[in-house]
Amino acid sequence: MKHLKATTFLIAAALAAPLAAQEAGGRLDIVVQPEPPGLMLGLVQNGPTQLVAGDIYEGLLIYNTDLEPQPGLAESWEISEDGLTYTFKLHEGVKWHDGEDFTADDVVFSADVFLRETHARLRASLAYVESVTALDPLTVEFKLKEPFGPFISVFEAATMPMIPKHIYEGTDFATNEMNATPIGTGPFKFDEWVKGSYIHLVKNEEYYIDGLPYLDEVYYRVIPDAASRAVAFETGEVDVLPGGSVENWDVPRLTEMEGVCSTGEGWEFFAPHAWMWLNNREGPTSNKLFRQAVMYAMNREFMKDVVWNGFGNVPTGPISSKTNFYSDDVTHYDYNPDKAKELLAEMGYDGEPVRILPLPYGETWQRWAEAVRQNLTEVGINVEIDSADVAGWNEKTSQWDYDMAFTYLYQYGDPALGVSRNYTADRIQKGSPWNNVEGYENPELDEKWFAAATMVSPEERQAAYEEIQKEIVDDVPVAWMLELEFPTIYRCNVKDLVTTGIGVNDGPRNAWIEK
Amino acid sequence: MSMWKRFSSNIGAMVGVLLLLTVIFIAIFAPLLFSHDPWQMVQRPFLAPFTMQALPLGTDTLGRDVAAQLAYGARVSLLVGLVSTLVALLIGVPLGALAGFYGGYVDEGAMRFTEFFQTIPNFALAIVLVAIFEPTLASITLAIAIVSWPPVARLVRAEVMSVRKREFVDAATLAGLSKPRILVRQVLPNTVSPIIVMASLMVATAILLESSLSFLGLGDPNAMSWGYMIGAARTVIRSSWWLSFFPGIAIVITVLALNLIGEGLNDALNPHLSRKGKA
Amino acid sequence: MTALIATLSRVVKAAATLLAIAVLNFFLLHAAPGDPAVVLAGEAGAADEQMIEQLRERFGLDQPFYVQLGKYVGGIVQGDLGYSFRQGAPVIDLIAERLPATLLLTLTAFVISLSCGIALGVAAAARVGKVSDSLLTTLALLFYATPLYWLALMAVLVFSVWLGWLPGFGYETVGSAYSGFARALDILKHLILPALTLGLFFMAVYMRMTRASMLEVSTADFVKTAKAKGLSGPVIRRRHILRNAILPVVTLAGLQAGQLVGGAVLTETVFAWPGIGRLMFESLAARDYNTILGVFLVSAAMVILFNIVTDIVYRIVDPRIGARS
Amino acid sequence: MSTTLSIEHLTIGLPQGADRPFAVEDVSMSIEKGEILCVVGESGSGKSMTANALMGLLPPGVSVKAGRAMFEARDVLRLPEAEKQALRGASTAMIFQEPMTALNPLMRIGDQIAEVFAAHDRFTQSERREKALALIREVQLPDPEKIIRAYPFQLSGGQRQRAMIAMALALEPKLLIADEPTTALDVTTQAQILKLILDLREKRGMAVMFITHDFGVVAEIADRVIVMREGRVVERGAAAEVLGNPQHEYTKRLLDAIPTGTLPDARQLSATPALEIKGLRKIYRTGGGLFKPVREVRAVDDVSLTVARGEVLGLVGESGSGKSTLGRTAVRLVTPDGGQVLVGGTDLAALSDEDLRKQRHKVQMVFQDPYASLNPRQRIMGAITDGPITRGIPRKEAEARARELLEIVGLGADAASRFPHEFSGGQRQRIGIARALAMDPELIIADEAVSALDVSIQAQVLDLLRELREKLELSILFITHDLRVAAQLCDRIAVMQKGKLVEIGTVHEIFLSPQQDYTRQLLAAVPGADWEQQRTASA
């Protein structure tokens, strides 16, 4: 017997209109950085692709800034009490951009065929899925092998984008010619991509929600130099600077301009969490005392203020304060160089040099590494900054050739989706920089991670994760640096740009321009 | 007139020497001039210049002393410039000398090799080399040397070919001297002047190249250089102009000084170079 | 006839050079740390063994090195520059898309720098020793010593941010729907700053060289002959001195024109110019071997092409060359 | 006769730091219509400066300080630049020494001639072409239609000088200034050009100011002569008078220094050969390669000759005759394609590089260019002792010998510690000789060893060689283009033309009864040959 678990939302929360009446028409210029490698969201899911393709492709659900699921392509959904059956009722009259109907078969194809092959992150969640069945053209049923708490969070556009079956079935997905002209169900259609310059999307007149989108067209502008991007915003060439597209130092200057607004919202679903992998396998970093010393040696508040210009939060542990099941009942590593020196003396640190590998994502990250080096040098640790470009960074981290390496990862709303992958021993896999790269092994804790993922009751899960956090923070498998906050800067006449947990990625759907 | 007299009567060249000596002085005595190292965060970030006496040029994005960074940056820039030029000379001079002196197949082979390197886009090659070997002072220096030796080889070859035709080389041959000895003792010393001139200009170009690489993020993260400073500051150029302005000026001054010296040397060492080259 | 034969033999040599460049760079790039599959997987935001293996297989990276090299060289011989897996398009298409922008930028910069450089060099030489000459040479020296990218930053700051006269980046106004003349004008506006910054350095080079060359040639005997004929100063400068003085400048310019194509990375980055320099730089970070190699080959081909053009120009200007070889 | 030009008290100042304050000091002269005035002097006499001042072509820094030059009732020295310009090429014209460099290499000959008309705004385009053609015919260039379209590099030296003359004559100037116009040419060509100038003077009646260092040339064409020395006129007068009865010491010395046609008495020669050349051949190939045809030049074509021990053999020929190649082949700076070079029984041509190095000392060379034959970065001692030390002679001994040799060549032992730039051209040639002697060679090859020197210096070096010949019983192969010089020093003379040995015989045989046409031509072309015969007769 099925039981109505979640409330059915009949009206999209986004449509809860503010006082002013929305005005249709207009064009939005949004910076995209770097240029995406491709727009086929089922094949590529890096940040820039998500940003652009989030307007073209859609998922079954949308998540608000509190990470609660909202109707997307699915009008309503039910979860059985045992947490094993998820049934989605699809929106009626949805059409692909080429005019074909969107049906339950497309959902089955996307989840069970296409994404199982191409989407590594989703694949981990799909491992829990027993079957995906189209009950009728507008109803889909996911059956799980065992309960998987975070399963309701995997229906976001970039996590489980809907792929048109009629285009991809039976083809080689990676080389399908249609990848260049993506077909989705989203509010905007792909029009043109001038490489190195811009991507042009136009309004989907057939969009299944009447009146949406308001905008006529969206330009995603490729401007490779951060300073130029700032200039582009200042001169009015672009209207929106998504988080991270200008350096933090520029943010106050730009937001102080007249008619410019900014918001820190729209990143809740990702909750980007930055840390340094400390190589648990060898060298000084394999010693827990050393790792703790590193934590005490760093003035993370200072770094946040200076390097990140005050944006973000200093984290207490592996789970972001924005993610579900966060707890701050853990050991706090406040700046304490003396304590760091004591710990170093206790372990008998002999001055063996350690290398820091910064993340090659621009000046901020470089400065951050320099600040860390300075802090560590001050407590007597010999530090050298290693350098590598994006490819080199990937190589070094995935081949474990580092002592300390900066990184940040999205948490996708749930520790089981975005956090545990970095700490459990089964995810120690050479060759990928997206798992337990630090080589932390704690079998006892692994059990707790696994158990917490398959619990059904949120209260149980909360308790389990609190325990995990308390324990792991003492071990310092990695040095948690910052809960990143990427303010989105935009002109104030652009309204309703950030209304969901993924922010600008699907922002143009609801956005409108006040004339 | 002696070479020194000619050189010292050249106002431009003397200005160049003065500027360069100043830069060298600052580079050498940087640790004495500044009590803190250039990476140390000493004050609040973005301190404007001329506001604090202790920090005359202000502070950078992390609150580090810009003046100290400039002084230490001089070391790196000069070092990279000098060493890469030396390495380029070490490749180019022997190659050009052998090609010019022995002619024939040696020449053909050496020149094909040189042409080959001239055909590869220079700056792009430098970028790829640095990216491949990862940015360290050594790899940057090497990459700059690798892209800048071909003109040396060509110059030395042309010079050697012209000197080789002079009669004192015949005289040395008739004296029974061996070919390598003639090349080293008789011919090469007579090609030194244009090489010195070219070298002084190459140091300047190398400094520019290093700074360009740094600007693209391909600098040694452990070495404070002027290019690093500009690269690091370009995103804040609007709010904190001095962070990219001062290192920019430092580069201009140093490169200018080297060019002035190079021209002075050229005029002093080769007063008749132009006439000789035409015949 | 001799010119044709000489050109033909150059083309043969050029092809050999290009092939050698391809092989050398192939070695270089494959020696670089960083696996394109890992990078691409990394970009997906998550990766596992299965995905990386799939990618490696797709890129042909699972094959022995010599097989990869052989395939690549084999492709080149047939005019196939390979496929960019990162961009999901044939390299030749990617380059074809970007090359016009680069050519427009570099050729404009080249024409500006060469014409202005020569004009200023002639002017300076004509006023040698005077204040205006010193002023010009000092200015040239200053441009020569100024880092290109720094100049670019300053130019954007002054002309597009403060004064708002010119756009600071990009190739054209995006989505302007301009066409015909309006579009050309729009592109021209975007072109001015990058072309100037790229051109200024070379302008300084050509100016200094023209000046030196003019002064050198002006001591030649035939200049004295021309004076003895009763020709006026300007006529002598134009017909006798300049024509001879320009030869070394043409040679150097020809060498550099080709290099400009591959050397515009900095300018293209600062001005968001969608050219192949940037394509290469961005591909490098992704270890998109085929694209980098393609850009290298195309720019090397440009170098060679420009050298051949220079050679032809040289033959036209200097009758001695054709006769000698 | 009317005076075309009169120079009065001309003084030309040199820039500061030069070796003397004035290039020309208080010089006066005048040229009548239709007259050829020769201005004679050695390098540095100021003769060219005078000419340049008249044309307004003084180099920067050099300026007229005093005096005037009246031409067509105007002082050409003080005219504004525009008027000077109008004068140049139209009323006054000039031809220069180096035909190789005096023409614009990038312009067709016809255009360069027509340019004169354009500069003075005369005639239409087609007329200019016609005029140019006529001029080319007038200066007797072959195939005018072709010449007019030719570039300078396609012409020989003599042809270029004719083209220059055509240009100078284009607007029928009243005054032609010729600055050493034949110095760079071969004797036969020189003779032709001199004749051309004489003819043109006859036809057009213009005044000619002819600058030269060569009294032979003076004797050939001068009406009047002015002798200059260090910026001053030392003697002036009718040609016959100055040549026949010089008054000033300097003129006398100059005339004495000229190799007279006086033939030295024949000496008894040894029967042992110092050098035997047998069937020597050297072919230069240019071009070649994938698409280019090979071109061959037979520089030395089957030449055999012998230099006896203690003999001086003169090797005479014009440029391109292969005489220098022969000399260089004999010391094996050039490897021959065939034949033998026997020195003391060893065939140098057949030796391996290594063996050759050990035999090098047997033949030494004295070079033409005193400025190029010494390494500017090496002290004299090093230059002289490098060879002996390499041969295995102890350094001390070699250095002692070097000092001794420097004494012998008249420089003094302390010259050893100095650098080449501290010596004059003549002194450098002496060093070159000392260097050759230091190797105790069996044969010295002197390749145009005195050609680059002023006459008076030339005479001194020739004296030295003569002296050494006696003292050291030197065998010398003396290569020269100048028959008069050869006659001074040599026992026998060999004449070469186009790589072949034309004639060989004693000096008396060659001069008095030449067997071959070419030899006779050469002799006839020697400038002032008639005058010299008179001198010889009267001496």
Report pLDDT for C48: 66
Report pLDDT for D388: 92
Contacts 24+ apart (CB under 8 A), D485-489: D485/D259, D485/D450, D485/D458, D486/D314, D486/D316, D487/D259, D487/D261, D487/D262, D487/D263, D487/D264, D487/D314, D487/D511, D488/D259, D488/D260, D488/D264, D488/D462, D489/D264, D489/D312, D489/D314, D489/D462, D489/D465
Parallel, antiparallel or unpaired: strands D232-238 and D224-229: antiparallel
Which tokens in the block code for residue D246? Answer: 């010089």
Confirm if A153 and A169 have CB atoms less than 8 A apart: no
Pure H helices in D172-304: 187-204, 215-221, 239-244, 249-257
Q: Supply the CATH number for residue B44's domain.
A: 1.10.3720.10
Residue of C nearest to A270 (CA): C45
Which tokens in the block code for residue C277? Answer: 């320099």
The proportion of chain C whose per-residue pLDDT surpasses 70, expressed as a percent, equals: 93
- Confidence band, pLDDT 50/70/90 cuts, at residue B270: low
Which tokens in the block code for residue C59? Answer: 């890129």
Q: Mean pLDDT over residues D235-240, rounded?
A: 90
Tokens 């020269």 identify what position? D480
Is the pLDDT assigned to residue A404 strictly greater than 90? yes
Which phi and psi angles does A132 have, rounded to 5°? -125, 125
Q: Which position has the higher pLDDT, D77 or C254?
A: D77
- Confidence band, pLDDT 50/70/90 cuts, at residue D537: low
The proportion of chain D whose per-residue pLDDT surpasses 90, expressed as a percent, equals: 29
- Is A431 within 8 Å of C52 when comparing Cβ atoms? yes
- Is A360 within 8 Å of B217 when comparing Cβ atoms? yes
Amino acid sitting at position D496: M
Mean of the per-residue pLDDT values for chain C?
82
Q: Give the structural domain span for B195.
A: 3-278
Which tokens in the block code for residue B276? Answer: 């000789």
A467-485 pLDDT per residue, tens: 999 999 998 999 999 998 8
Is the pLDDT assigned to residue A270 strictly greater than 70? yes
Number of other residues whose CB lies within 10 A of the CB of residue B16 = 24
Q: Mean pLDDT over residues D385-396, rounded?
A: 91
Report pLDDT for D489: 86
Q: Which position has the higher pLDDT, B279 or A227?
A: A227
Alpha-carbon span B264 to B13, nearest angstrom: 5
Mean of the per-residue pLDDT values for chain D?
87
How many Cα atoms are found within 13 Å in the side-chain-facing hemisphere of D151? 14
Map out the domains of chain D as residue ranges: 1-91+174-257, 102-170, 273-513
Q: Which position has the higher pLDDT, A389 or A188?
A: A188
Alpha-carbon span B34 to A425, nearest angstrom: 49
Is the pLDDT assigned to residue D1 strictly greater than 60? no
- Confidence band, pLDDT 50/70/90 cuts, at residue A240: very high
CB < 8 Å to C33, chain A: 388, 391-392, 395-396
Q: Mean pLDDT over residues C147-173, rounded?
A: 82
B119-165 pLDDT per residue, tens: 888 888 888 888 888 888 999 999 999 999 999 999 999 999 989 88
Report pLDDT for C68: 83
Mean of the per-residue pLDDT values for chain B?
85
Least confident of B258-272, C99-113, D5-19: B258-272
Report pLDDT for A9: 41
Same fold for the pair D1-91+174-257 and D273-513: yes
The DSSP letter of residue D105 is: T
Which tokens in the block code for residue D360? Answer: 């090098």
Which tokens in the block code for residue B111? Answer: 């020149």
Alpha-carbon span A352 to A382, nearest angstrom: 7
A contact set with B (CB within 8 A): 225-227, 230-231, 246-247, 249-250, 253, 306-307, 358, 360, 362-363, 366-367, 369-371, 373-374, 384-389, 392
Which tokens in the block code for residue D94? Answer: 């000039």
Q: Is the dihedral of CA A290, A291, A293, A299 positive or negative?
A: positive
Is the pLDDT assigned to residue B230 strictly greater than 90? no
Q: Mean pLDDT over residues C57-84, rounded?
A: 81
Report pLDDT for B141: 94
Nearest Cα residue to D189 out of D291, D338, D319: D319
Interior/surface letters D167-176, b for 16+ CB within 10 angstroms, e for the rest: bbbbbebbbb
Q: Mean pLDDT over residues C85-96, rounded?
A: 83
Q: Do chains A and D touch (3 or more CB pairs under 8 A)?
A: no
Confirm if B23 and B254 have CB atoms less than 8 A apart: yes
Q: Which position has the higher pLDDT, C40 or D133?
A: D133
Confirm if A190 and A39 have CB atoms less than 8 A apart: yes
Is the pLDDT assigned to residue C320 strictly greater than 80? no
Does any CB of chain C come closer than 8 Å to the CB of residue D54?
no
Q: Which position has the higher pLDDT, B271 or A332?
A: A332
A68-109 pLDDT per residue, tens: 888 989 998 988 888 889 999 998 888 999 988 899 999 999
- Confidence band, pLDDT 50/70/90 cuts, at residue D293: low
With 0-12 / 13-18 / 19 or more C-beta atoms within 10 angstroms meaning exposed / middle / buried, residue D8 is: middle
Q: Mean pLDDT over residues A65-70, rounded?
A: 86
Distance from B42 to chain A by nearest Cα, in Å?
Answer: 11
With 0-12 / 13-18 / 19 or more C-beta atoms within 10 angstroms meaning exposed / middle / buried, residue A350 is: exposed
- Is B230 within 8 Å of C220 when comparing Cβ atoms? no
Name every residue whose Cβ is closer than 8 Å to that of residue B102 and which is 6 or more positions away in sequence: B179
- Is B177 within 8 Å of D390 when comparing Cβ atoms? yes
Is the pLDDT assigned to residue C134 strictly greater than 90? no
- Confidence band, pLDDT 50/70/90 cuts, at residue A372: very high
CB < 8 Å to B212, chain C: 147-149, 266
Is the pLDDT assigned to residue A21 strictly greater than 70? no
For D1-91+174-257, CATH gives 3.40.50.300
Report pLDDT for B89: 95
Report pLDDT for B278: 28
ipTM at complex level: 0.83
- Confidence band, pLDDT 50/70/90 cuts, at residue D535: low
Is the pLDDT assigned to residue C1 strictly greater than 60? no
- Provide the domain count of chain B: 1
Is the pLDDT assigned to residue D367 strictly greater than 70? yes
Name every residue whose Cβ is closer than 8 Å to that of residue A219 and which is 6 or more positions away in sequence: A27, A28, A29, A30, A198, A199, A200, A201, C174, C175
- Confidence band, pLDDT 50/70/90 cuts, at residue B274: very low
**Rg (chain A; Cα; Å):** 23
Q: Mean pLDDT over residues B168-182, rounded?
A: 90
Interface of B with D in 170-199 (CB under 8 A): 170-178, 186, 189-190
The proportion of chain A whose per-residue pLDDT surpasses 90, expressed as a percent, equals: 28
Report pLDDT for A389: 80
Report pLDDT for A17: 44
Mutate to test the interface with B, among A233, A249, A386 (most CBs of B within 10 A): A249
Confirm if D166 and D113 have CB atoms less than 8 A apart: yes
Nearest Cα residue to D496 out of D519, D476, D475: D519
Least confident of C248-262, C285-299, D480-494: C248-262
- Confidence band, pLDDT 50/70/90 cuts, at residue A322: confident
Separation in Å, CA A372 to CA A379, B39, C248: 11, 11, 53
- Is C47 within 8 Å of A120 when comparing Cβ atoms? yes
Is the pLDDT assigned to residue D324 strictly greater than 60? yes
Tokens 């270890």 identify what position? C287
Can you identify the CATH homologous superfamily of domain D273-513? P-loop containing nucleotide triphosphate hydrolases (3.40.50.300)
Q: Mean pLDDT over residues B249-254, rounded?
A: 91
Partner-chain residue, chosen from C45, C98, C270, that has the shortest CB–CB distance to A45: C45
Report pLDDT for C144: 84
Report pLDDT for A410: 86
- Is B174 within 8 Å of D374 when comparing Cβ atoms? no
Q: Mean pLDDT over residues A321-337, rounded?
A: 89
